Amino acid sequence: MKTTPFLVILFFAISCGANSTPKKEGVGSDSISNSTLLEEYFFEEAYMLEDTFVIEKTPTLLLSIQKNFKEVNSVQKWDSVVHRVVFESGMEGDLSAYYLGGKLSKLLVRHHDDAFQKLCEYYLKENELSMILEKSIYFDSFNTHINQRDSIYVVNGRKAVIEIVNSYFEERKLIYQYHSSQSGMYYTPDDFIKEQKRLIEIYSILRSSLNQL
């Protein structure tokens, strides 16, 4: 499949409003729960979920990645699931690795504390990274994440910002990415390369942790 080396858009899937309930629009946001207990996981992992976003100028660019995403997140019984505690991006996280047919198909990592939760899902196709879903919620103590351009909600009486970032890969190269909130993020070609490097490095750390006892 022929790809464009640099292609980024910002997709605003969540509307503004301090008292809004998160809309169920787009991949990942269907799995936003309405939890009011901070001790519970706010985000659920993708299950039986389709990615239906289309790039207007290149509508077939993501089709094979989206098909694999749906197939993997629709698996009802895995051959095995391996759990690890990992440390990456300055945070400790809980890693789950899902195997089917003797091959690694999916990685799931959760980071959480009193003011922050993040769920990252890594989808593999033929043992290569294919798609990453990053879903984060920042509560009111994270003032740097709360500004007039973000989508702000109230969860259990606390202001919160929800961000969802989806990244698509081919041959270990980031080919497309969009964001669900207006956080002022803008990519130059150099920034795009740095973002690719960041994601690949984290993915490599997670893969390496599976070889540790």
Q: Average pLDDT, whole number, for the chain?
A: 77
* pLDDT at site 4: 42
Percent of the chain past pLDDT 70, that is, above it, reads 71
pTM of the model: 0.78
pLDDT tens-digit series, residues 58-74? 889 999 999 999 999 99
Q: Where does the pLDDT of residue 22 fall: very low under 50, low under 70, confident under 90, or very high at 90 and above?
A: very low
Give strand pairing partners of 152: 161
pLDDT tens per residue across span 108-131: 999 987 788 999 999 999 999 999
Express each pLDDT in 144-200 by its tens digit: 555 544 567 777 777 888 888 999 999 999 999 887 764 445 567 888 899 999 999
- Closest among 32, 64, 71, 28 to 46, alpha carbons compared: 28
Q: What is the mean pLDDT of residues 18-38?
A: 36
